[in-house]
Structure 1
Amino acid sequence: MQTSQQIVGQFRRKRLFIAAMVAVLVLVLTLSFRFFEEKSRIEQQSRDFANHTIARFDRMFSPLDVSANNTQALVGLRCGEVRFPLIENLASLQTVRAILLVDHGNIYCSSIYGERAISFSEAYPELAISSQRMLLTTDNYLLKGSPVLMLWTPKTLDNHSGLIQVINIELMSNYLLEPTLPWVERAVFNVGGKSLEYGNPLIEEALPSADEVSYEESSLRYPFSITLFGPPPARLALMTLPSQLPLALLLSMLTSYIVWLATANRMSMAWQISYGLTAKEFMVYCQPIINASSGNCDGIELLLRWHNARQGWIPPDVFIPLAERQNLIAPLTRFVITEMVAHLPVMPRCKSFHVAINVAASHFRDRAILDDLQTLWWPANPVPQLVVELTERDALPVVDQRVISHLHKVGVQLAIDDFGTGHSSLSYLKTLQPDVLKIDKMFTAAIGTDAINATVTDMVISLAQRLNISLVAEGVETEEQANYLRERGVDRLQGYFYARPMPLGDFPAWMDRHLAHIAA
């Protein structure tokens, strides 16, 4: 059987579990968000680097296009006539090594070597035959073996005449392709399937290493592209997570604390009891009280039962003390009274039959019990006698004695429940003047087994008889106990020996069976 500490502990563990799960979730989401944000930022930086580099190459090639278009008028003229203008033009273009003139498929003039006689299609088939505008190759004349970029500007539609600018691409690449660590480790300039990497004077295919990824962006104006190699953005993003951990932990702890506070009400027994009343999880049971002499059922004690959809059946000795501590016992008592009033039509309509209701001491403050009876009980014109059972769990303040006096005046009997197990029992007999004493089941169970408690039971019986107070023995489970109590003059008996607690609606059928059993 669960105890109140176990129930509260379960709620606390659930709250702690929920807060911990929220903390973990927030931590994971925060780090994930920062991971994907950092990964996206690194990818964007790579794209920005490539686009910026392409834009700078485009800006450097653009004046060469203008110069080539202005120089095309020299194509076809004798080399001796145009060489000086070519050299003059070359001096204004810092990135161009040489200018070659092509006429009718022959390279016939060079700004450096003067007159030439080289087949255009044999020397540069990519430009002459394949109609490429650019060719990445090595210099075989001026600085042999060094990388150069050929920029071809045709003059005729048949591609047999035009102008070639030999560009110092190594100078441009060293200026424009410098990597930006850690997200760009290598930058490569690509033209027609050939590549030139920053810091590498050789024209060769550039391939990523085992732990690198590549990103390529092409120019929209010229036939070249830029390829970037670097570590995977995910790996770089992961490397930044340790620096994000303190903030993520702080955010997760703050969120979990907020969840802990937010669930304090909902994940509490007070909320569960309030919700249980609203959701009709509480049920009113009753246990018959038998006249020890005649065997008739003289009354019933109303008992509250709770089937929590989340916890299952919760014993009264668990939720009743919790309800008292949370000031929710009065709403529960009102619920019991309301249910009893609804079942009054099927109850015995005689004044010798009584209905006992457990009422906590806190319900007596500020005349609350009187107000509730005035609102709920008396308007139903009940015939059965009402007995208010007061538990000894709490002591009554002096001011509440006036409420007790008023209950006696309006004909409500007062019973002290669990007599002998609480405190100030004898003083209660003087100040409260009860009509009934209920012997706790602990003393009943001691009959025949515990001589000390049995002696106490006899003393309680003798005391009640001398004070002319009616006695009810709780927890009668055997015939031996029933006979023992009957022989000592106990007025009424209550326990499993006669009947177990039953739903209030089942009592009329039980009463019929009991009357039939007595008559037989």
Structure 2
Amino acid sequence: MQVSQEATGAFRRRRLLIAVVVAALVLILTLALRFIVEKNHIEKLSHTFASKAIQRFDRLFSPLDVAANNTQGLVGLPCDQVRFPLVEKLASLQTVRSIILVDRDNMYCSSIYGSTNLAFSATYPELAVNNQRMLLSTDDHLLKGSPVLLLWTPLEAGNRAGILQLVNIELMSNYLLEPELPWVERVIFNVGEHSLEYGNPLIEKALPSEDEVSYQDASLRYPFSVTLYGPAPARLALLALPEQLPLALLLSLLSGYIVWLATANRMSLAWQISYGINAREFMVYCQPLINARSGECEGIELLLRWHNDRQGWVSPDLFIPLAERHNLIAPLTRYVLTEVVSQLPLLPARSDFHIAINVASSHFHDRQIVTDLKQLWWPANPAPQLIVELTERDALPEVDQRVVAQLRQNGVKLAIDDFGTGHSSLSYLKTLSPDVLKIDKVFTAAIGTDAINATVTDMVISLAQRLNISLVAEGVETAAQAAYLREKGVDVLQGYLFARPMPLESFPQWLSEHQPPGGG
């Protein structure tokens, strides 16, 4: 029972470990998933912000293109004739500070100053020579030092005539480039090598700080781009994780509890036994029964061994009591019967050869043992004598006497296993009238060493002989024990002195190699 409790405790600890591991994995995976989702969300917000900023600037510049195209007809006309139309056009374009007409590389007419005489290629070589359409610069005339965007619309390929619009980009940038904290801390408007940052009137190339990352998107219609600077999405996602912790903990605890419940059966040894029967993990072993006088093998006791692919070898002292408590002992007995019937051709076909099988008293209820023997044993017409062994850890008085009588009518003998160690009672001998008593190995081991147990052994031997009950001594390991038991008149000896338990299919070879001199 102690071994069984330890095994149950081990399974419970394993279930708990699995539940804890699953809960921890769910917690880690949930937080990792939330981290990835949050990181992707922040990246998407940044991309969306940049895309929308590009779209807003495109919409800002689109009317300027239309205005420039509508004004192309004024290029080349005298300034005094076109200035008023330029002023009207300027009034309709609220974002434009000034419109300048360029003809033959001469900036000759301004909507603000009227007639001018400046060389276009010398003043703005980026536009005239480098063929750029946009230029970030500073206003040197109207609002000195303020940022201004020059939008150049040429009339010819040589860039010597066209319309130059000076856009109030500072006002527009303050409206269109406002950051969205925390994922966008700085927004930069880029044209060529120059940049304009929100809140910074200086036109200079913007660089990220040490803890910032950048994302850039460019317009497909105009030669400008927008750069975003802000904390790394991974860092922001990490900072947001504490908010996700309560939900992640709840999911992990729920998962652990579900695993704990789900493994209640699968992680129990009782479930493992049921699975082992179906998976044929159990193996039938046998141990020879030796005639104390002749030394011949006159039978075998069938034993069950279990090699669990998940646990390795499991001791019978562990799984047999558990099988009894969980009503699995009868299926195990049927398993043994099925296996031994399949091996009958390998066993001696003699009526004086005994095959002993352990049967729990619960198997006698509702005549189950009789039904199983009718289905599994008797149809095979076995020649060997079948002995049913009842162990004293069972409640022997519960055995149905009619079942015992029916077994005897069909030639089955009854033995009481481990006599004297369990619920020993002399009434069992009267109630059950067994054919065989098996002396437990505890008493066999006491021969020559333990006076009290040796005395009990002598009393059991004497009692069985008076009642004409055959005796089998288990656990015989020394020649001295065998000699003592033989002298006391014990009929059959069983133990490591003669043979260890062996697979049933190995018994024929053992039998052929261990016949005593003169034995048949």
Normalising by structure 1, we get a TM-score of 0.95
Q: Counterpart of 1:305?
A: 305
Distance 1:45 1:379, change over 3 A: same
CA RMSD of aligned residues (A): 2.0
The alpha carbon displacement at 1:313 in A equals: 2.2
Q: Counterpart of 1:119?
A: 119
1:415 aligns with 2:415: yes
1:497 aligns with 2:501: no
Distance 1:397 1:92, change over 3 A: farther
Distance 1:518 1:257, change over 3 A: farther
Distance 1:514 1:89, change over 3 A: closer
Q: Counterpart of 1:270?
A: 270
Secondary structure in structure 2 of the residue aligned to 1:280: coil
Distance 1:453 1:382, change over 3 A: same
Secondary structure in structure 1 of the residue aligned to 2:206: coil
Superposed CA offset, 1:189-247 (max 9, x none): 11121001000000000000111111111111211111111011111111111111221
Q: Counterpart of 1:69?
A: 69
1:132 aligns with 2:132: yes
The letter for the 1-side match of 2:140 is N
Tell me, in whole angstroms, the C-alpha distance in 2 between the residues paired with 1:397 and 1:432: 8
The alpha carbon displacement at 1:298 in A equals: 2.6
Distance 1:231 1:151, change over 3 A: same
1:294 aligns with 2:294: yes
The alpha carbon displacement at 1:9 in A equals: 4.0
Counterpart mapping for 1:337-376 below 5 A: 337-376=337-376
Counterpart mapping for 1:318-397 below 5 A: 318-396=318-396
The alpha carbon displacement at 1:125 in A equals: 0.9
Question: Structure 1 stretch 483-492 or stretch 382-391: which is displaced more?
Answer: 483-492
Superposed CA offset, 1:396-435 (max 9, x none): 4646232122222322111110011111422312221211
Give the count of matched residue pairs.
519
Question: Structure 1 stretch 14-23 or stretch 362-371: which is displaced more?
Answer: 14-23
The alpha carbon displacement at 1:364 in A equals: 0.9
1:487 aligns with 2:487: yes
Tell me, in whole angstroms, the C-alpha distance in 2 between the residues paired with 1:4 and 1:399: 25
Tell me, in whole angstroms, the C-alpha distance in 2 between the residues paired with 1:78 and 1:328: 112
Tell me, in whole angstroms, the C-alpha distance in 1 between the residues paired with 2:288 and 2:305: 16
The letter for the 2-side match of 1:364 is F
- Structure 2 regions of 5+ residues with no counterpart? none
Tell me, in whole angstroms, the C-alpha distance in 1 between the residues paired with 2:512 and 2:237: 80
Tell me, in whole angstroms, the C-alpha distance in 2 between the residues paired with 1:427 and 1:35: 74
The letter for the 2-side match of 1:16 is L
1:87 aligns with 2:101: no
Contact 1:42 1:233 in 2 (8 A): yes
Tell me, in whole angstroms, the C-alpha distance in 2 between the residues paired with 1:247 and 1:113: 67
Superposed CA offset, 1:333-381 (max 9, x none): 1122222222333333333222111101111111110001111111121
* Percent of paired sites with the same residue: 72
Distance 1:399 1:508, change over 3 A: closer
Tell me, in whole angstroms, the C-alpha distance in 1 between the residues paired with 2:12 and 2:77: 97
Q: Counterpart of 2:16?
A: 16
Secondary structure in structure 1 of the residue aligned to 2:81: helix
Tell me, in whole angstroms, the C-alpha distance in 1 between the residues paired with 2:86 and 2:79: 10
Q: Which runs of 4+ in 1 moved over 6 A?
A: none
The letter for the 2-side match of 1:253 is L
The letter for the 1-side match of 2:188 is V
The letter for the 2-side match of 1:20 is V
Question: Structure 1 stretch 503-512 or stretch 67-76: which is displaced more?
Answer: 503-512
Q: Counterpart of 2:41?
A: 41
Contact 1:419 1:425 in 2 (8 A): no
Contact 2:362 2:399 in 1 (8 A): no
Counterpart mapping for 1:94-173 below 5 A: 94-173=94-173
Counterpart mapping for 1:183-222 below 5 A: 183-222=183-222
Question: Structure 1 stretch 214-223 or stretch 79-88: which is displaced more?
Answer: 79-88
Tell me, in whole angstroms, the C-alpha distance in 2 between the residues paired with 1:275 and 1:191: 74
Tell me, in whole angstroms, the C-alpha distance in 2 between the residues paired with 1:399 and 1:287: 26
The letter for the 2-side match of 1:187 is V
The alpha carbon displacement at 1:163 in A equals: 1.6
